[in-house]
A and B are shown apart, each in its own frame.
Chain A
């Protein structure tokens, strides 16, 4: 079956702009989680959506937001981009919500560079 698909794979933005990243989970998976990965901080949890509801949120400013649609596809948005937002943004889908020890299936990520 098809894996987790993230688009776009690479993008370059300038400070102050906004960006929207998309994630299509594995068919049948209702949980989508987003992570930010940087060399200095590693994998940092952004938020998790399950059945269109945000279940958990990490310690990121309000500039980071997300949503999930009825078909389980998810988008995350970052407004007023800062240089420090440059990172690999990973989406992971799961059959179960994160609290049920479900396996996370990751996409290849969207690499964002902010100039």
Chain B
């Protein structure tokens, strides 16, 4: 069982549609990061959230950290083919601890 559960595991949508990816846990995290990984490459950091209830926007991407710091979501508005990739959430349980990754959500945006 993953400490961080991501859903859905796979998402296929048409260009222009919206999508939301969820990252859930029963544990509290001091911070949570979202990464995107494209085929043949390593993950690249998109955002870090540290405060419960925090909302961060990155162009068409909106990230939210749950009030209790146990969950997070990533919402993409008007998805484009360039948004295709594997989205990974990663959490730190406490200072000095290792970063734990969720299982990932594979997003395919068709033109």
Contact = CB atoms under 8 A, between A and B. Distances in A.
Nearest to B32: A101
Nearest to B43: A106
A99 to B, nearest CB: 4
Q: Is the interface of B mostly helix, strand, loop or mixed?
A: loop
Interface residues of A, number: 25
B50 A106 contact: no
A98 interface: yes
Contact of B45 (A4, A45, A103, A108): A103
Contacts, number: 65
Contact of B101 (A42, A97, A101, A105): A42
A43 B97 contact: no
Interface in B34-71: 35, 40-45, 48, 50
A45 B40 contact: no
Interface of A: 4, 33, 35, 42-45, 48, 55-56, 58, 90, 92, 97-101, 103-109
Kindly list the 4 A-B residue pairs having the minimum CB-CB distance in the complex, ordered from nearest. Answer: A106-B42, A99-B96, A43-B101, A42-B103
Interface of B: 2, 30-31, 33, 35, 40-45, 48, 50, 88, 90, 92, 94-104
Given A56-B98, A103-B45, A104-B99, 12 more contacts: A4-B42, A42-B88, A42-B101, A42-B102, A44-B101, A45-B100, A99-B95, A99-B97, A101-B48, A104-B45, A108-B40, A108-B41
